[in-house]
Structure 1
Amino acid sequence: MQRSRIFPLGISVMAMAVLFISGCEQPEQARAKAHAMQATPVGVVTLKSQSITLTKELPGRVSASQIAEIRPQVDGIIQHRLFVEGAEVKKGQALYQIDPAIFEAQVSTSKAAIKKAEANIANTKAKLERYKNLLATKAVSQQDYDEAVASFKGAKADLLTSKAQLQTAEINLNYSKVKSPINGQIGKSEVTAGALVNANQTTALSTVTQLDPIYVDLTQSSSELTRLKQAISSGHLSRDSKQHSVVKLMLEDGTTYKHTGTLKFSEVTVNPSTGSVSLRAEFPNPEKLLLPGMYVRAKIIEGVKDGAILAPQRGISRNTKGEPTALVVSKENTVEPRVLTVDRTIGSQWLVTDGLVDGDQLIVEGLQKIRTGAPVKAEPADSSLNTAK
């Protein structure tokens, strides 16, 4: 009877031991299981450093590369207008004809004066030769010979004067045709046939504007220019002189101009009223799409930044101080906050200069379900779970 009582008692002791051991292991497993269940799935983007070309948009105005106001250089009556308003004209093309009659008469008079001067030279030369021979035999006085020499020299001077007068008359006759000094598009005419015009009058007869190529005058703040120069001198930015001169243009409607321009020069002085520096770019304009006075925006290349970190904007927020912040996945798979320093936006991303490094896992999805220090399960943002979105 005693054996039968001991056997059940042993079984009971062993069962209690197993239950005790199981009871000791259960809390740790439960905690591990609970921790795993509490890890919130989030979508992350793994950041990678890269070299990027930094650009800057600047406001600008279109201006003509050349403008010529057409004015007469002689007095007279306009006989004919020789162009169609709004048409393309070439350099040297006649635009107006001023009555040439008086200038043709001046040319004829000057030619006659030349003939007379040449005849006078022949006469005085022959006389000088005779006096030279007579002087040797004392048939004429030294004074008579000297007067013959002076007459010959005077005749040659008269010829030079007549030739100069002919040249002036021919220039005035040429000026009776008012010509275009440049290639371009001519505007409306301010005078008609029969109008009296005067040399160098203040009112222009018309205006010729060269539209191809065309200029775009840009403005950049002096502070931005100083910052850019400091970044280049410190080595934070590198510059390719060929790339730096390339300019792209955005039109008033937001479209991109199909032709690429070239940066020609930058002013060396700052406008004291605006605190800005002027830059000029030149663009081809064969379609005449760009017109003087148009407002545009130009994109210029500032330089190349090596080892740049670009972070999606949707993963960046701001704290109560206005500082940009981000949440990343730490090595322990928990949420780690970062305070950032950003430079600018590039497309849909921020250029981060401090706070994020190569290899960081930036949380971009599931941000509303996590807090600092909370366990998370990182998954690529493009394939993250619906619960993380």
Structure 2
Amino acid sequence: MKQILAAITACLLLASCSNSEAPPEPAPIPVKTVTIASRPIPNVVELPGRVEPVRQAEVRARVTGIVQARLYEEGTDVRAGQPLFRIDPRELRASYAQTEAALQRARATATNAHAVVERFQPLVAENAISGQEYDAAVAASREAQANVAQLRAQLEAASLQLGYTTVRAPISGRAGRALVTEGALVSQPEGTLLTRIEQVSPVYVNFAQSASEVLALRRAVAAGEIELDQDDRVEVTLTFSDGTDYPVPGYIDFYALSVDEQTGTVELRAEFPNPAGLLLPGEFVRAKIFAGEVQQGIAVPQRAVTLTEQGGSVFVIGADGKATVRPITLGAMVRDVWIVQSGLNVGDLVIVSNLQKIRPGVPVKGSDAQSTRKPASKLQPTAAAKAR
């Protein structure tokens, strides 16, 4: 009996000893990492912009009359000089004919007055007529010629007015909807608006940048922190409101030299090809302006960044070999990398795989996924376009 009790006591002691031992450390989770290194990266400025046509013309009535017909299809492309509207020409045609008849009568009178002067020339030399009569004949001839010139100008004006009854496109572009219908009375003094024409290939995109940001950019360029392109071309890419990218880059073609007093901003404008007509006047877009390169910049792969309402964060491997969350301030995203404004240092190991499995404080075992020393040209979204 004593032997049985001793055995039970020994088992209990062994069990209590085993329960007091700490659980084993979990095995490190294998992850892939990238080592942060500084390198030249694009200096990207993100701004909202609005699309505007390169040229816009308002088609207005230049004569008073009744619209007889609309000669174009609304919303289609028209060429310069193409007829758009026809205004009733009958009244102006009658005025033209009346002026033309008056001109013919004035020419006949001028011809007769000139003939009288030629007949009087030998007579005045022989003193057959007085000098006063000859001077009167010369004055009458000159008056007749002036009357001819006046009526000729009136006939030309009448011809112009008659031509204005056919309203033509002043520029090539896309014609909007007609603002008048057949039978409408249009007025020349009021300049009745008939339609609008917009030239949408290419197009302009207008931006407004804060004057303080412009000053900071100039200081960074002067200090050598940002290096501008040698050809002074500043590339711009666009993103539509639905998040899709416009495939063709544009370039800044205008930069205001003054600050708007009311908004404190500087106006910029970029020109974009629009062969497919995807960019519509009045549309709001998001622009990325590539204003040179930051010489000592930091970027991380897109897949390593977690986005929250508070901003972005990444997992880094700490000195103890465990995963640590690091909040970062993000700039623009270029292709598949985020430009980091602050929060990371050169040499940090950023985790880029198995992000769903790791938690803060979990042991991890990293292996290099790729080097972050990628040439700056690789970060440019349209390097091929620049080469062209």
TM-score norm. by structure 1 comes to 0.71
Query: Unmatched 5+ residue regions in structure 1?
Result: 1-40, 318-323, 371-375, 384-389
In structure 2, C-alpha distance between the alignment counterparts of 1:123 and 1:82, rounded to whole Å: 48
Q: Encode CA deviations 1:114-157: one digit per residue, 9 max, x unaligned.
A: 32222222222221122221111111111111111111211211
Task: Report what 1:166 is aligned to.
Answer: 155
In structure 1, C-alpha distance between the alignment counterparts of 2:341 and 2:284, rounded to whole Å: 32
Change (3 A) 1:185 1:344: closer
| Aligned with residue 281 of structure 2, among 274, 287, 292 | 292
Contact 2:41 2:298 in 1 (8 A): no
Task: Report what 2:240 is aligned to.
Answer: 251
Contact 1:311 1:352 in 2 (8 A): no
In structure 2, C-alpha distance between the alignment counterparts of 1:77 and 1:167, rounded to whole Å: 22
| Aligned with residue 224 of structure 1, among 213, 216, 224 | 213
1:120 aligned partner, one-letter code: T
In structure 2, C-alpha distance between the alignment counterparts of 1:110 and 1:210, rounded to whole Å: 39
2:203 aligned partner, one-letter code: I
Q: Encode CA deviations 1:170-200: one digit per residue, 9 max, x unaligned.
A: 0000011112212222222232222222114
What is the aligned length?
A: 329
Task: Report what 1:53 is aligned to.
Answer: 42
Task: Report what 2:10 is aligned to.
Answer: none
| Aligned with residue 122 of structure 2, among 133, 138, 143 | 133
Secondary structure class of the residue paired with 1:148 = helix
Task: Report what 2:132 is aligned to.
Answer: 143
Contact 1:81 1:97 in 2 (8 A): yes
In structure 2, C-alpha distance between the alignment counterparts of 1:179 and 1:214, rounded to whole Å: 23
Secondary structure class of the residue paired with 1:181 = coil
Query: Unmatched 5+ residue regions in structure 2?
Result: 1-29, 307-312, 353-357, 371-388
Contact 1:340 1:352 in 2 (8 A): no
Secondary structure class of the residue paired with 2:203 = strand
Change (3 A) 1:100 1:50: same
Q: Considering only CA atoms, is the larger Rg found in Structure 1 or Structure 2?
A: 1
Task: Report what 2:51 is aligned to.
Answer: 62
1:213 aligned partner, one-letter code: P
Spell out the pairing of 1:187-336 with structure 2 (5 A cutoff): 187-201=176-190, 203-240=192-229, 242=231, 244-310=233-299
Task: Report what 2:88 is aligned to.
Answer: 99
User: C-alpha root-mean-square deviation of aligned residues, in Å?
Assistant: 3.8
Contact 1:244 1:303 in 2 (8 A): no
In structure 1, C-alpha distance between the alignment counterparts of 2:244 and 2:115, rounded to whole Å: 83
Contact 2:46 2:332 in 1 (8 A): no
In structure 2, C-alpha distance between the alignment counterparts of 1:59 and 1:218, rounded to whole Å: 6
In structure 2, C-alpha distance between the alignment counterparts of 1:261 and 1:279, rounded to whole Å: 13
Change (3 A) 1:325 1:70: closer
In structure 1, C-alpha distance between the alignment counterparts of 2:93 and 2:166, rounded to whole Å: 13
Q: Encode CA deviations 1:16-73: one digit per residue, 9 max, x unaligned.
A: xxxxxxxxxxxxxxxxxxxxxxxxx997644444222222221111222233222211
Contact 1:214 1:284 in 2 (8 A): yes
Q: Encode CA deviations 1:54-104: one digit per residue, 9 max, x unaligned.
A: 222211112222332222111112222212222222211111111111222
More helix by share: 1
TM-score norm. by structure 2 comes to 0.72
Q: Percent same amino acid at aligned positions?
A: 37
Secondary structure class of the residue paired with 2:97 = helix
Task: Report what 1:176 is aligned to.
Answer: 165
